[in-house]
Amino acid sequence: MNPAAAPLPAAPIRYAGLSARTWKAIGLAALLCAAAALPFLVSSYRTFQFNLVLIYAIVLLGLNILTGYNGQISLGHGAFYAIGAYVAAILMDQFGWPYWATLPVAGAACFVFGFLFGLPALRLRGHYLALATFALAVAMPQILKYKHIEHWTGGVQGIVILKPQAPFGLGITPDQWLYLFTLAVLLVMFAIGWNLLRGRIGRALVAIRDHPVAAEAMGVPAALYKTLAFGVSALFTGVAGALGAVVVQFVAPDSFTALLSISFMIGIVIGGVASISGAFYGALFLQFVPNFADQISKAAPWAIYGVFLLAFVYLMPAGVAGFVRLAWMRMRGLRGRGETSPHRAGV
């Protein structure tokens, strides 16, 4: 056996001259351009719908940080969404704040609430935590309707907000402006989330999820990370809630029932748990499936959600994102086998 013929690691596979990573970057850039151009290409209503998709994507990324990456099940994120929405609405309605200034406050408030909820949550695991968060979600509308805080929350009727106009006299409609604003916020949030999850902190979160005792033994301060995960997750959801309030122009207790929390959970299961792209797939699902289903009956969307949920748990537990990843790897595997040949090994 000639040692010189021992195979070297194969050169990275190139598709039409570019590496996989470059293609990914190009793809993302293209997607971004398409997303930015969207409001100018479709109707006002569609823009509104896609705006909501972006908002849900932020929520789902936040929820994924907690449940997907850190393994803490929350059936109560609708509560944080509600808090963010109400903070924004109250600031705008009662104190005349501009819409963009409400986002950081909503985020901060939710971070605090999330962190505070995360403290007792340290003692709860699995379905107990699910139960406690579910109780929070079920109780939320009643809390929002409570008459002693009515002068803040507007009680059962809620609060109506005026739609902000595009700034600097830009010649675009408010819907288009709001969409672009949301897109910008989304990019910021996703950049934060990406950095968080791809780095040390993300690995720590996953380690805590999968091997809590080992993680602790290796010096990862599990309690701190878990409560921070709760806080950050709530922060994302709160910012999204504030955006939601601005875009929908209305907050009321019955918009934030337990079903909202459940729909967020549906979003991450279908989109893909522990995945960043999953947030988008889930958001698209949440926004557009009801539209089709609504045509059948008012109740149909949820029945379909339920069936989809079951189907995904049994057949595609890694969600759409997992499926896409698998397909992508299969595709690369096939191409790879064609490209790599013995005589290239030495090149």
Partner 1 sequence: MEAFLHQVFSGLATGGIYASLALALVMIYQSTNHINFAQGEMAMFSTYLAWSMIDAGMPYWWAFLLTVSISFVAGVAIERIIIRPVENAPVLSVVTVFVALLVIFNSVAGWIFTYTIKTFPSPFPEQPLFGNRYVSSHELGSIGITLLVLLALYLFFRFTPLGLAMRAAAQNPLSSRLAGIRVGWMLALGWGLAAAVGAVAGMLVAPIVYLEPNMMSGVLLYAFAAALVGGIDNPFGAVVGGFLVGVLENLVGAYVIGTELKLTVALVLIVGVLLFKPAGMFGRVFVSRV
**Residue 116 lies near partner 1 (rule: CB under 8 A):** no
Using DSSP, state whether 18 is helix, strand or coil. Answer: strand
Window of 14-22, 24-32, 94-102, 142-150 that interacts with partner 1 by CB under 8 A = 142-150
**Residue 286 lies near partner 1 (rule: CB under 8 A):** no
**Residue 213 lies near partner 1 (rule: CB under 8 A):** yes
DSSP string covering 75-106: S-HHHHHHHHHHHHHHHHHHH---HHHHHHHH
Segment 266-285, which members bind partner 1 (CB under 8 A)? 266, 269, 273
For the bound state, the minimum distance from the C-beta of residue 126 to partner 1, rounded and expressed in Å, comes to: 4
Count of positions on this chain that bind partner 1 (CB under 8 A): 47
**Residue 135 lies near partner 1 (rule: CB under 8 A):** yes
The two structure tokens encoding residue 73:
């099940």
Task: Name the residue among 2, 210, 178 with its Cα closest to residue 103.
Answer: 178
Among 111, 134, 225, 256, binds partner 1 (CB under 8 A): 134
HSE-up (13 A, CA, CB side) for residue 108:
5
Instruction: Write a three-state SS string for 101-160.
Output: HHHHHHHHHHHHHHHHHHHHHCCCCHHHHHHHHHHHHHHHHHHHHCHHHHHHHCHHHCEE
Q: Is the dihedral of CA 130, 136, 137, 138 positive or negative?
A: positive
Segment 57-76, which members bind partner 1 (CB under 8 A)? 67, 71, 73, 75
For the bound state, the minimum distance from the C-beta of residue 285 to partner 1, rounded and expressed in Å, comes to: 14
Nearest to partner 1 of 217, 347 (CB atom): 217
Using DSSP, state whether 14 is helix, strand or coil. Answer: strand
Window of 12-20, 106-114, 170-178, 295-303 that interacts with partner 1 by CB under 8 A = 295-303
Interface characters, 151-170, with partner 1 (x: CB under 8 A): --------------------
Window of 57-65, 87-95, 117-125, 281-289 that interacts with partner 1 by CB under 8 A = 117-125
The two structure tokens encoding residue 214:
């080992």
Angle at 54 between CA 73 and CA 132, to 5 degrees: 20
> Which residues form the interface with partner 1 (CB under 8 A)?
67, 71, 73, 75, 120, 123-128, 130-132, 134-136, 138-139, 142-143, 145-147, 213, 258-259, 262, 265-266, 269, 273, 297-303, 305-307, 309-310, 313-314, 317
